[in-house]
Chains A and B, each alone.
Chain A
């Protein structure tokens, strides 16, 4: 939901833009897992793709060692 809102802002303001993924999944059933389809838009150059590990900018999600973010929050912080 949060992601969709962010994508709405990114793409719906520009109707010409290529949207690299399905935004609404229809006919969902209970007790099933769904990943939205990706659609082909922009791709990195070959050398950028090798450096990133993917040709797709929308799939590139680098890790930056936020190990501590996974610890449970303490009562005072929640």
Chain B
């Protein structure tokens, strides 16, 4: 039975539980629902949850755990002699999986598998015809492993379906049997909701932990293949896929920081001043259309900004500034990417700062105006200092956003890793290099690809550091000012 069908059956059972639980509750109270502890729907919901939740949990856990157990057992069937020189367990296992999948397809078409599994060349031909490409004829133990894999998969699926259905029916029965007027179904469903909420937040937390763990693990792997000293202290970035590359991180970090700095130099003054205008000077009517208009900037896909950088801003800067000033003749430059990225992050600064400036108590403004200060003196000397922690938070959020940006850099700043002070030269950033190291047909074992994880971890550390700094500043000043 397929997982989809199983899901449908469990959902049907839950729906039945919903209706039956409700009806049973009404019946048990003799039609007078005031005698029930909870509203009838809560009894129905309780039965439905008991039918669906344990069964679905089982299916999810089973589907996650099944490949690990089964593949370990299939792997043990492969004789070590059948693992070719220069290959590894994992590569052979992927063959096993493909053969198993191919055999499933053939079986579905009604082919007779018995003669094929003993005849490797015929099997290869049949599989190739079915669209499963094999490089060489599979060894007998590999075919045996594939067959075992298929057998175990189908048994496991059968058991899972059975257990899940039993669980669903049992849960339904138990849930219905507990329906009595004095049963507190409302409280019981309440705790179900709490566990659901806990589960959802756990998903987010565990994903973060998982991503960081995999970054750390792969980075450690990278440093076993490539000396950490060269990664952190070399100033050249020159990956060679034939080996012997130099993977110094500094040109990339420099490019990232340079582009982000230009972006912030553009975005912070513009964003902050428009926020001050919106919060302090604009009438309600103006504000109601200007603010959404600025926020639209945040909704433009970065690739569109990239196009804008590549086609308009880059050539403009080159023709009007870089070439006349003799600073270079490349249309992709740090300046191009920085300017366009600055425009992109304006709404992050302005929208957040606007909210924060609005949150400054009116009493402070009144106090200042009441002393005969002008509105702009009030803004500079009272409102902005009071809003400073929040504004710093907004700026650092914009900085994190700028550091992580990829598309605008690819299209605006180019892909040449360089350490240079000239803002009209092409440079590149960490994110762009992660993309370029991972695209293309490469195996995941060389330092040239694994370096992506080290770069990712560096970037993550950088933005994490910024976020921590933001939190620290916000906390420190909040205590002082509120």
Do the two chains bind? Answer: no
